[in-house]
Structure 1
Amino acid sequence: MPCRVAISLFLWLPRSWINDVFPLSLHRLAYVSSKASSGLPSPSPSPSSPSTAVSLKRVVIKELKVSDDESGMRLDRFLKYRFGRNGDDGSIEVPHSLIYKWLRKRQIRLLEYQEGFNNVSIKTKAITSVKTRTETGQIWLIRAALNDFTPKSASEPADIDPSHSAVNKQTRQRPLDALPLRAWIVYMDERIIVLNKPAGIAVQGGTGVASSIDSSLSVLQYDFSEKPRLVHRLDKTTSGLLVLARTRRVAQDLAKRFHEGSARLEAASGQGTTWNIRKKYLAIIESRQPLTLSSLESMGAWRGTNGLMTMGGDMVLIEQGNNQTIHMRSSIDDQGDIKPRITATWPSKTDFRILDQRSCGVEQNLHWALLELYPQTGRKHQLRIHCAELMRAPILGDRKYTLTIGRTESKSPLRIYLHLEEITLKVDTASDE
């Protein structure tokens, strides 16, 4: 009976007091309510508030303390990471829509300690911005309904009619097959794992993708507390080196550096600006004429250092109805008076060297050339577009970016002749590397 009285008195406190002054009491209230539902006698709901007892049983407070490795994470990513990790409560799926709902209803609070003259007071501060960054030692309180948390392993109810087409498609979907990632490892230390990705293998999942590297990363976890993370990607039709980060902090640093792109090649010898990441690709291109210095300069390329040539310009995103395509601005300007709608522009630059070229002997006036490509920026499909639209020599096998601007094929080939051969990382830019 005393337990019932305590709960009844607590319910008469203003909601602002419960939220701001008594977060730990609310935690105990949820605990007592859960105990009551498991066998202890519970109070009968009053006629004026018939749903009070039901809502009590569903209240839950999640307390999350930020570790050193989780410091600096954006709030939504921190919550998805912590709830998605296997722990005492199992792995829980928390969509972004639910996190936004918690923020909107001020259900995510940060525990704060304020030192007074003779004591230390504990208060909570409501957080409403998803861009808030975490700090080591912070304690976050998430007040939510128990049914907000759905385990990832939860299956469809057995009484659902399997003849329904949508349900049938979801419940009978073939599980993803794990790829033999361990056989593709070319380098591994306590910070990164480097794979030699074959052509035809998707890095991330999508429509019609049976298996991907992202869905198979658990086989590379070994004795670490979490599986490796992707920090960059390669097209499905491209082969070569793929770097994985083994901790969250290393992933954060490498992802930023890959996004910023590679700096100039001559920095490796101490000249020019410093570099963080340098990538070297090998590519086979096809052209209607041999590539000479004069022909390349007429196409806008210019001489660099260390025997390299440089090409570049603005890449633009074009909207045509519901379709979006990426091209060089110079190629669009050559199309005549009809100007498409450009929604974004990015500068791009690539260094290259011709290693060898010869006539293919199959078709008259068709030549193949072997190139080394060093991207200085990391734009989407940058190398493919630069070769096709600046050099007028598309990469062999590429059906999307050809000499005909805007031409695409509905069926992609198994591979294009583009291979990421070498990645150089400057490991002294972060203490964690």
Structure 2
Amino acid sequence: MRGGTDGSKSGTLTKERFLERAVGKCPEVEIYIGGVAVRCLLDTGSNVSTLTESFFKEHLHGEDTDIHCTTKWLKITAANRLPLPYLGYVELDIQVMGLTVPGCGFLVIRDHDDVETDTAPPGILGMNIAQRCKQLILAEFDNALEGTLDNDWRAAFSRVQEATLGEANRMVRVAGTCKSYVPAASVATIQARIPRELMGNRDIGLFEPGNTPLPGGLILVPTLVSPGSRVFPVQVVNLSPEDVWLPSKLKLGVLTQGHHIDSSSCEVKFQRISADHEEVIVSQRSMTGVEPGLQCPLEKVQIGGTPTQQAELKALLIEYLDVFAVCDDDLGYTENVTHEIPVSDDVPVSQPYRRIPPNQLEEVKEHISGLLKRGVIRESSSSYASPVVLVRKADGNLRLCVDYRKLNSKTRRDAFPLPRIDESLDALSKA
């Protein structure tokens, strides 16, 4: 066999040389499942995540009844195209650097007696979980993680970004003639420039990372770009403990054409703030018409009055339809106001939880799990604790309330004098 390099032509193949050139190190990360530390391989080439049968049953105390049988309709093949035998599917909450990622899907792999598994990690993290971990950690980077990230996860996210890169069809570079500064452990905004020959007539574009990793493992935040804009701001996340300088005209990523979906209820607008900055506004589109097969929420509302009054009221409601909730999961959220509760002293109100009737325990667990998955509530380690109260709605469903009476008793209330009733009645005299 003719060798491709001088080293491969030598006739001596030692064990050390073989291990150095033929065997690479797969990145490993540590997660926690139910307080149990699990060392997992990060496999960006895997679509699924797995746990061994022995680890699931011995360390997580899993039972066969906890495993959903999906083997009849979901077939998994390995890289060698051979079927991968597994018992079924489970959803587990995992902890990554103190952050909880709820409802992560794992396949429980059947153990083989003829395979040595003592030294192999019991789990594999595929792209289904790796991408969720990346999104959660980036969202909590400044708040919960205080701008620090574990070295293993930083290297892992670089591999996740490389694995999710799309085809580069429109290259975007760093704008300006000077270097762009990205401080350590922070999120910075830099200016990006689109080549003049790629401007043309285009619709809204989507800027995404390119094929080449950025210096220092920087991560770009996907950005909407307004039509006709050549220079636009983009956010860059620096997860490393060192400052990074991006040279001028460095390749940042690609600009892909946005696709307009008629059925979308949102409308994207671009508002120019200054010469170098734009603001992206996503607003609810007025529902002047509803697609066939979709029921307008107003169909459930009984409107009285004359036909003319009904038409006017319906037009008004449709114009502001985005302020109404159409289901229990349609919740509003704002960051414009921060709520604070001033108390009379610094002693936390910490009450033990109240006993839940055994016949309602599973229903309560399922209800709380659903609230966690939808992001309505989150886990807390606060020194304040108030017990929950179970209340039945009129339709029989469970309503989860909290008894805040002890907290209310030590809350300093704002003094807002109410108007005098006699003055209000005098003002209405002869009206």
State the structure with bigger RCO (CA 8 A, min sep 6), 1 or 2.
Answer: 1
Q: TM-score scaled to structure 2, two decimals?
A: 0.23
Provide TM-score, normalisation by structure 1: 0.23
